Structure 1
Amino acid sequence: MAERYSSFVPGGTAWLLQRITAAFLVVVLAFHFFQLHFVNHAADVTFQGTQARMSNVGYFLTMVLFLIAGAFHGLNGVYNALVNQGLDGTPKKVVLAVLTIAGVALVVQGTYVALAMAGWT
């Protein structure tokens, strides 16, 4: 039988965070979908409504955590998929640096937009 290979160390921090963010994303994505497709139908979503939702501290924090968890989960998944395909050495370090910079930029920009939507900038 073929041996299973994974770049994740079972029980390691990255392994644990990947699973925690997955569970968090499933729950918050369901909330987000329900909120923006059933409570507020797509045709009824307005800039003012978004500002009103984002001015609620609980909603704001949930959406910022959604952004952080999604960025980490996605970029960590891409990185580990590349490592599983044999990426190593200097290219591995370069990819890690590029993905880290991209993730930080995404979170900073997304947080700035969330703050602006909440009227806190």
Structure 2
Amino acid sequence: MAERYSSFNPGGTLWLLQRVTAAFLVAVLAFHFFLLHFVHHAYEVTFLGSQARMSSILYFSLMVLFLVTATFHGVNGIYNALINQGLTGTKRTVVKWTLVIASAVLIGNGLLTAIAWTDLIDIGIRGIFG
């Protein structure tokens, strides 16, 4: 029988974070599906409606947390799958830093998109200088 191997140390921090992020992603995806398929039907979803939802600080925060969590969960899973396939040495270091940079770019772009989709910045500027 084949021996089971995993780069995750059961009970370790990355092992725990992979499971916690999976549970969070399932809950947020269920919320998303319910909100955008039962509360608002597909034909009712508009850009202005999406902008209104994103302008709620609670919804905005949830979507940003979703972005960061999904990125971590996906990249951590890919990295550990590659380690399980035998990635070692310099290649492992190059892959790790490539994934870190790709994650930072993805999260940065996602944040810029999320911010552009709201009127939160305008409200904040008007509140300060208004």
Please state which band the TM-score falls in when normalised by the shorter chain.
over 0.9
Letter in 1 for 2:39: V
2:125 maps to none
Aligned counterparts of 1:43 and 1:110: Cα–Cα separation in 2: 25
Aligned counterparts of 2:42 and 2:22: Cα–Cα separation in 1: 26
Q: Could you list the runs of 4 or more consecutive aligned residues of structure 1 that deviate by over 2 angstroms after TM superposition?
A: none
Letter in 1 for 2:120: W
What's the CA shift for 1:3?
2.0
Aligned counterparts of 1:7 and 1:55: Cα–Cα separation in 2: 40
Structure 1 segments unaligned to the other structure (5+ residues): none
Deviations 1:69-115 (A, max 9, x none): 10000011011111101111111111111111111111111111111
Structure 2 segments unaligned to the other structure (5+ residues): 122-130
1:74 maps to 74
Matched pairs, number: 121
Question: 3-state SS of the aligned residue for 1:118?
Answer: coil
Q: Percent identity?
A: 63
Aligned counterparts of 2:66 and 2:96: Cα–Cα separation in 1: 22
Q: From the CA coordinates, give the structure whose radius of gyration is larger.
A: 2
What's the CA shift for 1:2?
2.8
In the superposition, the TM-score normalised over structure 1's length comes to 0.95
